């Protein structure tokens, strides 16, 4: 009699399809990746394919069991033979049905999640049926071989999916490397084919080992549970799968909580020289955290302190230390860079998450700071929503301070202490906080004489762009107009911004697209033409190779428009982030999701000061001037670019 299989049929089908997905994980995406990155993509993608395939095959097996009593099989067949035959027929039937559903649904721009899920269901069912059919043919061959040599089931019970999966991965990887178009990015697998193939085989073998261990655990629970408790062995075996999943979930949740606690406590670790002595030394009464401020220095967090000490000085600062941490402090005052006298000392208001216990109180504290510093008298009020940690782009603020000759005020409310990818649950709180502040500011500005009113603008980067745009959700371009926002610049807007989708998705009566521009670089902005550029008051600067602007959950089951046949071709521009999407990049269910997850991680190059991926610093001088409509000559603009780069070099040497 044949022995018990090491792993179940559904798991063997999962191994075959997971291994077949390995070559696709090596295809190009938006950024170059290390072998650690590649291992992460391959492991997560193949693991997910495996789990989804097992679930799909379990559903097919259940359907086969139900059909086994209805189909006219020979009367002499056992129940097991009837179930096996019915399941095989169902596996064969779902292949054309599933692929037919995929072809019928097709791909549409801005399609609904329901269409994507339905298409993915058809595709997953079809490929599962195909994999099961191939596996069934292979198992029939091993059964014949086992009988021929008299192995008494030893050959038959071996998980054939392992060699079949490895062979499939090897063949598909060889095909992929031959068909991949040559591009300016190197292909890590193609540059070392044997290493690429070995990595694929290694992932399959590792996955097989984990599968065997989980299957044995579930089988033992099924055996013991059926003996001592009500329920069949099959029921308790499935309960074992759920128990394993629950254990992983609980363990992951505990690790998450510990990680978040560690990250949040890390934001309280201040830079050298940024202790209580920095307040008053590196601030003035026009900045939060100063002894004259209502915002206590102790509540501002690391990013808040950095923000308020890096303001652009109106004149050379002669009575302060010439060095910090052994680094010479560059003299880059407004007078030095702009070659004219400053109009005022820039105002920098920052209310930390710990500065007040509630959002309402933080808003009231910000308004008190605006009253204290007389921010209402400045020509520009720049409302900034920070990233998750509280970071505000130093170049954006410095550009506005230079171009207004100091006659401006920036206002920032912190909403989280975590990095942006871990602060997505804070978007709702940030939205309500921002909306309340901006409404209060609108009320105050409307009470002023028209000729005395400041220009009110918004700046947001990354999650800061998302949280500031969230205040307008459901209102289209009417949102910022209703809240009294004259102009806005957002850089690196995450794909998850619903308001961004309102602007670029289906036509809406509340969206005036002539007031919006979405561009990769300044030359593309200029190419709109003078009139269109001047009318675009809300500008989204998003690099084509920025993974942050393209990563989203929908990549699991929907092809985005930017990966469609009408994608922009790759184009290199001197001094700009490259345009376009690599021709070799294809959308693959699940796989593309994990590739973009790594692209998002790699979207910023450490120590680099150039426009690429999620780094927009060198793009900002032109955009700040044009979008906010500030007075600045071309000569002054070039001086600002040089000054901002020097400021960033000094900041990174002192703070990072």
Which tens digits make up the pLDDT trace of 96-121?
999 999 999 888 777 788 888 899 89
For every residue of 392-407, DSSP letters joined together read: --HHHHHHHHHHTTT-
pLDDT at 322: 83
382, containing H or E segment: strand 380-385
**Whether residue 406 sits in one domain with residue 260:** no
Residue that finishes a domain, picked among 204, 238, 265: 265
The CB-based long-range contact list for 209-217 (8 Å cut-off, 24+ gap) reads 211/7, 211/11, 211/14, 211/15, 211/50, 212/6, 212/7, 212/159, 214/241, 214/244, 215/6, 215/7, 215/8, 215/11, 217/244
Q: What's the rounded Cα separation, in Å, for the pair 196 and 173? A: 8
Contact residues for 459 (Cβ-Cβ < 8 A; gap 6+): 382, 383, 384, 385, 393, 396, 400, 488, 489, 490
Residue 611 domain-assigned? no
Residues 226-278 have pLDDT tens digits of 777 777 766 676 676 667 656 655 665 565 455 445 544 444 456 777 889 89
**Whether residue 621 sits in one domain with residue 476:** yes
pLDDT at 583: 82
538, containing H or E segment: strand 538-541
**Whether residue 636 sits in one domain with residue 525:** yes
Residue 319 has pLDDT above 90, yes or no: no
Residue 33 domain-assigned? yes
Q: Taking the mean position of all CA atoms in its chain, how far away is CA 30?
A: 13
Residue that finishes a domain, picked among 217, 233, 265: 265
Query: Residues 166-188: what's their mean pLDDT?
Result: 64
Residue 49 domain-assigned? yes
Residues 435-492 have pLDDT tens digits of 999 999 999 999 999 999 999 999 999 999 999 999 999 999 999 999 999 999 999 9
From 324, 342, 325, select the one nearest 333 (Cα to Cα): 342
**Whether residue 359 sits in one domain with residue 243:** no
Is 210 or 81 the better-scoring residue by pLDDT?
81
Q: How much of the chain, in percent, has pLDDT values that exceed 70? A: 85
**Whether residue 226 sits in one domain with residue 86:** yes
Is 357 or 65 the better-scoring residue by pLDDT?
357
pLDDT at 205: 67
Residues 2-54 have pLDDT tens digits of 444 555 778 888 888 888 888 888 888 888 888 778 887 888 888 888 888 98
pLDDT at 270: 65
Helices 161-179, 9-21: axis angle to 10 degrees equals: 20
From 368, 373, 366, select the one nearest 350 (Cα to Cα): 366
**Residue 51: domain span:** 9-265
Is 291 or 154 the better-scoring residue by pLDDT?
291
Q: What's the rounded Cα separation, in Å, for the pair 104 and 111? A: 14
Domain count for the chain? 2
pLDDT at 231: 72
**Whether residue 246 sits in one domain with residue 284:** no
**Whether residue 465 sits in one domain with residue 371:** yes
Contact residues for 548 (Cβ-Cβ < 8 A; gap 6+): 462, 492, 494, 495, 600, 603, 614
480, containing H or E segment: helix 478-482
Residue 615 gets which letter from DSSP? B
Helices (H), 280-345: 301-309, 334-338
Q: Taking the mean position of all CA atoms in its chain, how far away is CA 178?
A: 31
Contact residues for 461 (Cβ-Cβ < 8 A; gap 6+): 387, 392, 393, 396, 490, 491, 492, 616
Residue that finishes a domain, picked among 237, 265, 293: 265
**Whether residue 441 sits in one domain with residue 379:** yes
pLDDT at 222: 72
Helices 161-179, 193-228: axis angle to 10 degrees equals: 150
- Average pLDDT over the chain reads 86
Q: What's the rounded Cα separation, in Å, for the pair 26 and 31? A: 12
Residues 178-204 have pLDDT tens digits of 766 655 455 555 545 556 556 656 665
Is 192 or 494 the better-scoring residue by pLDDT?
494
Q: What's the rounded Cα separation, in Å, for the pair 576 and 599? A: 19
Residue 574 domain-assigned? no
pLDDT at 265: 46
646, containing H or E segment: helix 634-655
Residue 579 domain-assigned? no
**Whether residue 164 sits in one domain with residue 309:** no
**Whether residue 353 sits in one domain with residue 231:** no
Residue 58 domain-assigned? yes
pLDDT at 264: 43
For 27, the token pair is: 């295809």
**Whether residue 483 sits in one domain with residue 423:** yes
Residue 88 domain-assigned? yes
Left (φ > 0), alpha (ψ -120 to 50) or beta: where does 629 sit? left
Residue 565 domain-assigned? no
**Whether residue 464 sits in one domain with residue 331:** yes
From 90, 93, 97, select the one nearest 122 (Cα to Cα): 97
Residue 342 has pLDDT above 80, yes or no: yes
């Amino acid at each position: 009699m044949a022995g018990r299989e090491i792993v179940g049929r559904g798991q063997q089908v999962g191994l075959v399809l997971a291994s077949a997905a390995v070559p696709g994980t090596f295809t190009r995406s938006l950024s170059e990746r290390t072998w650690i990155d590649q291992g992460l993509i391959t492991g997560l993608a193949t693991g997910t394919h495996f789990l989804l395939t097992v679930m799909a095959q379990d559903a097919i097996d259940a359907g086969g069991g139900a059909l086994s009593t209805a189909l006219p099989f020979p009367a002499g067949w056992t129940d097991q033979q009837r179930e096996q035959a019915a399941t095989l027929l169902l596996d064969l039937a779902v292949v054309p049905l599933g692929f037919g559903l995929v072809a019928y649904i097709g791909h549409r721009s801005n399609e609904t999640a329901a269409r994507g899920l339905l298409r993915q269901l058809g595709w997953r069912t079809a490929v599962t049926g195909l994999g099961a059919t191939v596996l069934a043919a292979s198992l029939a061959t091993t059964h014949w071989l086992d009988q021929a040599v008299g192995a008494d089931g030893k050959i038959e019970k071996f998980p054939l999916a392992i060699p079949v999966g490895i062979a499939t991965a090897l063949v598909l990887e060889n095909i992929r490397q031959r068909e991949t178009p040559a591009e300016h990015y190197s292909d890590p697998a193609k540059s070392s084919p044997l290493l690429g193939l070995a990595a694929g085989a290694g992932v399959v073998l590792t996955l097989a080992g984990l599968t065997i261990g989980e299957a044995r655990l579930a089988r033992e629970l099924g055996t013991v549970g059926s003996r001592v408790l009500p329920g069949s062995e099959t029921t308790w075996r499935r309960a074992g799968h759920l128990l394993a999943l629950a254990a992983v979930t609980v363990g992951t949740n505990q690790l998450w909580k510990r990680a978040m606690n560690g990250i949040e406590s890390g934001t309280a670790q201040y830079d050298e020289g940024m202790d209580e002595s920095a307040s008053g030394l590196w601030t003035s009464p026009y900045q939060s955290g100063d002894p004259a401020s209502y915002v206590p220095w102790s509540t501002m967090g690391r990013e808040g302190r950095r923000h308020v000490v890096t303001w652009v000085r109106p004149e050379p600062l002669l009575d302060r230390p010439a060095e910090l941490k052994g680094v010479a402090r560059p003299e880059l005052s407004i007078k030095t860079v702009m070659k004219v006298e400053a109009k005022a000392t820039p105002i920098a208001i920052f209310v930390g998450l710990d500065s007040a216990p509630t959002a309402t109180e933080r808003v009231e504290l910000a308004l008190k700071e605006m009253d204290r510093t007389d921010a209402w008298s400045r020509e520009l009020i720049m409302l900034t929503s920070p990233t998750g940690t509280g970071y505000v782009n130093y170049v954006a603020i410095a550009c506005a301070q230079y171009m207004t000759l100091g006659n401006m005020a920036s206002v920032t409310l912190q909403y989280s202490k975590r990095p942006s990818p871990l602060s997505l649950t804070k978007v709702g709180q940030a939205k309500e906080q921002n909306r309340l502040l901006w409404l209060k500011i609108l009320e105050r500005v409307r009470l002023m004489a028209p000729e005395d009113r400041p220009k009110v603008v918004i700046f947001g980067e990354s999650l800061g762009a998302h949280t500031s745009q969230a205040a307008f959700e459901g209102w289209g371009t009417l949102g910022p107009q209703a809240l009294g926002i004259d102009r806005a610049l957002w850089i690196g807007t995450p794909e998850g911004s619903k308001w961004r989708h309102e602007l670029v998705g289906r036509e809406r009566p509340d969206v005036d697209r002539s007031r919006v521009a979405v561009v990769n670089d300044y030359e593309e902005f200029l190419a709109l033409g003078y009139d269109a550029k001047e009318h675009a008051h809300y500008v989204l600067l998003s690099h084509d190779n920025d993974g942050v602007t393209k990563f989203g959950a929908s990549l699991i089951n929907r092809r985005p428009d930017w990966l469609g046949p009408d994608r922009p071709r790759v184009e290199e521009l001197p001094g700009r982030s490259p345009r376009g999407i690599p021709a070799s990049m294809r959308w693959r269910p699940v796989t593309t999701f994990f590739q973009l997850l790594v692209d998002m991680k790699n979207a910023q190059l450490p120590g680099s000061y150039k426009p690429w991926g999620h780094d927009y610093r060198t793009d900002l001088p032109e955009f700040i001037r044009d979008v906010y409509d500030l007075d600045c000559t071309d000569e002054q603009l070039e001086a600002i670019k040089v000054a901002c780069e020097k400021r960033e070099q000094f900041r990174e040497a002192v703070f990072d």
